[in-house]
Amino acid sequence: MEQASISQPLNLLRTDTMERFINDCYHEEIRSDYAGFVRRIRVSIDETGMATLDGFIHPNFLAELRSTVDRLRPVCYQGGKRKSLIGADLKDTGFCEITFSDFLIRLANDILAPFNVKVEASDIHPAMSILIGEEGQDTLQHWHFDATYLSVAMPVVMPPPGGERDGKFRIWPNVRRFSQNQWLNRLYWNLAKFAFLRRMVRSYTINFTPGNLYFFYGFRSYHGPDELDPNLLRANCLINFGGPLFDLQKGKIIRYPK
């Protein structure tokens, strides 16, 4: 059943077509055991709420992303207010290259296959947040559910870990199932606002490391960035894949098997 849910043979992933953002140390695993690779990610998200691919981004590609962050930083803070960078802001950048790559679209679909879900390029949206200074404080501890089936965090610049306010990511993993019931969705949002309820549910923090990819079910997991010293720079790109209520809007009614 697991095997059957993995799409098509691996001719897309032959040596000569391996995407340039994939670090060399992953080529062999992807080529020889792609099904196992997908399963490893899915099992980790199911069991712990997150899956991490350590050092997945090729160092040269990461360096390119860093210089893109330097270039985009002023765009993010135009007019004395911070905005997330989306859509046209990210055009022709490495962020779009990875987001809309055959590899990542296929990987997301293979991870999500047991949920009867299929995402297309038009359901996928990268959002880049560059946090620094007082204007960058607005999003911290604004805990939330994403609307997505799958969210992939691709950190590019992170503060050195260890300080009190080092911009950790906090997550209450898999606290609900996927659902297209809008009433239930509102109920979860309202319940999650109560700090005492949040304290009753297991959560943990992690320090994102640039070069790693972090996968979680956005709709199912309450989360967000924790406190950050305004003197420190934190740049993270979140890649958003579809979501139950987007599918509902499109008239796709889905029975989620688990």
Ligand X SMILES: O=C(O)CCC(=O)C(=O)O
Applying CB under 6 A, the residues found at the interface with ligand X are 127, 129, 146, 169, 223-225, 236, 238
Give SS3 for 169.
Answer: strand
Minimum separation from the CB atom of position 87 to ligand X (A): 15
Residue 154 host element (H or E): strand 150-157
Closest by CA position to 38, among listed 72, 4, 80:
4
- In this complex, which beta carbon is closest to ligand X, that of residue 64 or of residue 146? 146
- The least distance separating ligand X from the CB of residue 240, rounded to whole angstroms, comes to 8
- Which residue is nearest to Fe ion, using beta carbons? 146
* Largest pairwise CA distance in the chain: 53
Instruction: State the nearest-atom distance from the C-beta of 129 to ligand X, in Å.
Output: 5
CA-to-CA dists, residue 82 to 7, 108, 225, angstroms: 40, 29, 15
Stretch that binds Fe ion, among 47-55, 139-147, 225-233, 239-247 (CB under 5 A): 139-147
> At closest approach, how far in Å is the CB of 75 from Fe ion?
21
190, 182, 186: which is closest to 246 by C-alpha? Answer: 182
DSSP assignment letter at 225: E
To ligand X, the closest distance from the beta carbon of 23 in angstroms equals 22
Q: Which partner in ligand X, Fe ion, none is near 6 (CB below 5 to 8 A by kind)?
A: none
Select from ligand X, Fe ion, none the partner in contact with residue 225, using the beta carbon and a kind-dependent cut-off of 5 to 8 Å: ligand X
Strand bridging mode 150-157 / 213-216: antiparallel
Residue 169: which of Fe ion, ligand X, none does it interact with, CB under 5 to 8 A by kind?
Answer: ligand X
d(CA 188, CA 198): 11
Q: Is 110 in the site for Fe ion (CB under 5 A)?
A: no
**Assigned token pair, 194:** 């109560």
By CB under 5 A, tell whether 166 contacts Fe ion. Answer: no
Residues 215, 218, 221, 223: what is their CA dihedral angle, to the nearest 10 degrees? Answer: 90
The answer to whether residue 146 forms part of the interface with Fe ion (CB under 5 A) is yes
- Name which of 39 and 83 has its Cβ closer to Fe ion: 83
Interface with Fe ion in residues 11-70 (CB under 5 A): none
Residue with Cβ nearer Fe ion (37 or 169): 169
Which one, 94 or 155, has the nearer CB to ligand X? Answer: 155
For residue 159, which amino acid is it? P
- For 36, residues 6+ apart whose C-beta sits below 8 A from its C-beta are 29
Our CB check for ligand X shows the closer of 106 and 170 to be 170
Residue 110 or 146: the one with the smaller Cβ distance to Fe ion is 146
Q: Measured from the CB of residue 216, what is the shortest distance to ligand X in angstroms? A: 9
Cβ partners under 8 Å of residue 27, min gap 6:
15, 18
- Contact footprint for Fe ion (CB under 5 A): 146
